Structure 1
């Protein structure tokens, strides 16, 4: 009896040991799979690595830039048109920086591409949830009231409205159909960077923090200062500012800091990740918190408004106005300008 029990006990132990080993192997395999999954780099991380590998130009010039003295100002909504994400108003302190007088032009971006061989996001195929898409970008369609924006194959910075369009004769227009990654890549090559959101609003206000627009508070004067949409948006554009879409840089009078088209013409990428409640989260902000944090659900801030903004619909050219877009997006009314820290 004792022998039989012992035999049974040994067999049972071996049986349990076998399954324990199997379970351990499963757990190991699961853990290994999780490690592989965690170490697989995200789309965002891969792009940032590619950008980091871009070599700066031999000499970083401040030609075409203005040195803007820093200071303290009240950031946030200050008009009846202000949206919830522009509050609460709060004090921001800005350091002295160099700023591009204008938005980066087609000619400047072409030089960057020629020297580096960089390929923009709109010129690359991509995948969303297992479905592959050809190279292309978003183009505005005013004739479709249901879907104003549509993906157009072949649209990119050289062909802003699609393969049938081009930028010949528009070398001095702001480059568009460039993603946040493309703007970051250009800035790295140029030895500059994108402005933060707080810097952009400071620059737009031009030292006049209580004004709604960079030129003052009278919307009636807008056509003298900004390229925007006049008329019944989006079907009727009265073109009182002489431009249906983008205009050459320096087409309108500069703001008080001497910056051209800091409002209107095209939206401009800034460095920060977009939070609808960003201004109420300031106590959580540490160095880089808003600037570098990223996940697939979040977007990057765009500022300044564009030729598609109207007083009745968007008013993106207000000093405090803020919107956002996904960092890989290319749009025909979205470009950027750069800043450079004072050394």
Structure 2
């Protein structure tokens, strides 16, 4: 873990790239905390499962009452044969499509889970150092209890992601590719137009090993790109505007998020359906669609729906225990 010192920063953004839910930028004060250097990896999650026997959300039969609140009112209950363990998987398209309909490139795939991120036949073999994905909000909470850590608040996550750079466009600065080098794992338009996946277009490369790119100013790796990251807060599209109004120019101390969620972006789903915040973007983010590999970008996610591009990292208020190798160096005798 890396120490993130206490401080005051401008949360959100007023830049031309910012979405409405990122505005306006407003002052926030956070206490110091420790944060995982990287996403929690497949190997780390496998050890948690080995020790606890945890069965993830994707490996359980979906509960209709939980699913129902995420659907248009009046949606009839499907037959039990449809309610089978699985998760959402990016499948892409074979041609350019209207980007207003994300159902064209996402599928619910029976048998998809953290061990099989793209469904039966896929594997994490040889990917122990990749971010674990296909984990729900509840799975992250369970891991956090086992690890003796907690989920970061949205404010803590953004403060840490910025690495001490005030209102920079990206976690490494204002230039997307300094010296022509990519600084994060996102959808490279050189591989083709999102969401086209074909031998000719290339398409999504998927996750990469953690630490594939330089760390930010606080020594944290992959704060944007690779895989989205769950944070503790409920999602409310109006939250930043309300926080700025309440602050009146004075820093808000350690905000913990709104008391409930509000997301009017999908007219077919109730605006108060449960939604948690995810941050950082993923290997699917690109200039033409979400441009979420920016520290202020934020998105709503169904806490009960694991996805093939969402993972997590944790924080702690106490310093992490030293490893045996560190102790040996400090006290060799």
Does residue 1:297 correspond to 2:255, yes or no?
no
Structure 1 counterpart of 2:158, from 201, 207, 225: 201
Partner of 2:315: 339
Alignment of 1:1-343 (within 5 A): 65-126=1-62, 127=64, 128-129=67-68, 130-131=77-78, 132=80, 133-143=83-93, 145=97, 147-221=104-178, 223-231=181-189, 232-235=193-196, 244-282=205-243, 283=246, 290=257, 293=260, 297-342=273-318
Count of residues paired in the alignment: 279
On the 8 A contact 1:96/1:342 being kept in 2, the answer is no
What secondary structure sits across from 2:159 in the alignment?
helix
Q: Is the 8 A contact 2:172 2:183 kept in 1?
A: yes
SS of equivalent to 1:92: strand
Structure label with greater radius of gyration: 1
Deviates more, 1:78-87 or 1:133-142: 78-87
Query: If the length of structure 1 is used for normalisation, what is the TM-score?
Result: 0.75
Cα 1:230–1:294, aligned 2, differ >3 Å: closer, same or farther?
A: closer
Call closer, same or farther: CA 1:342–1:173 in 2, change over 3 Å.
Answer: same
1:73 aligned counterpart, secondary structure: strand
Unmatched runs of 5 consecutive residues or more in structure 1: 1-64
Q: Secondary structure at the match of 1:225?
A: coil
Instruction: Determine which structure has the larger helix proportion and give its number.
Output: 1
- Larger relative contact order (Cα-Cα within 8 Å, sequence gap ≥ 6): 2
Structure 2 runs not aligned, ≥5 long:
69-76, 263-271, 320-333
Asked if the contact 2:30–2:254 (Cα under 8 Å) also holds between the matched residues in 1, the reply is no
CA pair 237-319 structure 1, distance change in 2 beyond 3 A: farther
**Deviation for aligned residue 1:312:** 2.2
Answer whether contact 1:196 1:291 (CA < 8 A) is retained. no
- Name the SS of the counterpart of 2:49 in structure 1: helix
**CA positional deviation for 1:335:** 0.0
Change (3 A) 1:121 1:94: same
The alignment's C-alpha RMSD in Å is 2.7
Please give the alpha-carbon distance, in whole angstroms, between the structure 1 residues aligned to 2:234 and 2:3: 26
The change in CA–CA distance for 1:238 and 1:224 in structure 2 (over 3 A counts) is farther
How big is the shift at 1:292? 6.0
